[in-house]
Structure 1
Amino acid sequence: MSALSALTWQQARDALARARVALVPVGSCEQHGPHMTLDSDLAIATGFATRLAERLGDDAVVCPGLAYGMSEHHLAFPGTLTLRAETLLAVVRDLVESLEHWGVRRVLLVNGHGGNLDALRLAAREAVRDRPETLVATVMWSVLAADAIAQRAVGPRYGHACEIETSVALAVAPQAVLPERIAAPAPAPEAAPPSEPQESRWDLPVPFDSWTADGALGDPRQASRELGEEIVAVALERAAALARQLMQDKGDDRR
């Protein structure tokens, strides 16, 4: 496993020549309640990608992560910085083209932010259409382990700076968690939106402050590294299976 940003160009040449898949962490710069840092999504995505690369060995190279994503629904909270969908798509497109230039034609976008899901799925579809020698896929830990998460969440509202995401951060990116700031959930705003984070049956953009006053869902007091390791183990197993499938897909002798 090689972290591309930590290599010299000569080392990068050798690592890219060996690599059969590039892992690209994608995060965001947005609030994560009172107890997690603005870069939590990128920190988790990078930590998860590193764990995944350790399983894949020299077949994988970890690219520098994207620190920004689609976070317009978090703009009520200070510090949030966001991209437009077309900007994120263009950046991913250019990165895929660059990796293809160095002979790496399998790209796995390791996402850490739910707001990026639609754009990254579209990026993968565009790559299949426009770059026939390259395969792009996208994964997110919370989607990979959704069944295990639903069993361990303490209530119906979870998914952001909650007991689950805080636990996962404690496992793979502990620097993103400020334990002394973990507090009881804030009361929900009085004017409830016409959808719930885990139960929405339609596509209706909802500002995040309509769901939570402090930027967190769920109860981070219930978080633990042990719980995070359980969730990460499930997600890693499934991500590794996909990565190996990508590497085995010969297609038209792509790599």
Structure 2
Amino acid sequence: MADYNNYRTAQGVGTRQAVYDEGLRAYMNKVYGLMAVGMGVTAVAAFGISTAAVDAGGQLTSLGMAIYASPLKWVIMFAPLLVVFAFGAALNRLSVQGATMLFYGFAALMGLSISSIFLVYTPFSIVQTFLVTAIAFAGLSLWGYTTKKDISGWGSFLIMGVIGLIVASIVNIFLQSSAMQFAISLLGVLIFAGLTAYDTQNIKNTYLQMRNSDADFIGKAAIMGALQLYLDFINLFMFLLQFMGNRE
């Protein structure tokens, strides 16, 4: 009788574990799916805008002059940063569908912000850097997902590093120091490599803590997770491009 009860207990635990694994897998697939679509929106927006900004003779069009040769470029440069800070507050007031559209709108705005890479770097080096970034991101994210090591302690140091990068980048806009830019790029690669693993584990742990919550809450959490990984990928790509990109 005791053996039968033990068998039933083990069977129940196994069933719950299977349900948990299936739920986590579906949740992570949604996070990565949203992120992938966001990356696609960014790529299309960046390429489309850069193409429209340059005419057949290689000269800036009126759109290009407005984007790249006027004070508007500073607005475009810093607008995504402002949207990121507002995203969390807006997320709580929106439906899942509305939050998804906001995320895609942000991805399009990010495409506008980084569109100048198509004017600065060769297409081959952009594609090459993107592939290297994708491979590195996949490996780092997989490690963050599967590791048994608790890396939650990295969070405060990595966030401090990001703040330091933002301040240093703003200062270097005026200093135009190549040595400082090299140091910023190197630190940027290391910081966002660490954030990729950290955010992946944090997204997984978030699901474990709130897997019994309502579908609306879980859906919004998936969108926020997609935004975090999206930003990790974009920043890792941009910093690697400064090392690997061949200029036009």
TM-score per shorter chain, which class?
Answer: under 0.3
Larger relative helix fraction: 2
Q: TM-score, normalised by structure 2?
A: 0.27
Between 1 and 2, higher relative CO (CA 8 Å, sep ≥ 6) is seen in: 2
Report the structure number with the largest CA radius of gyration: 2
Larger relative strand fraction: 1
Q: TM-score, normalised by structure 1?
A: 0.27
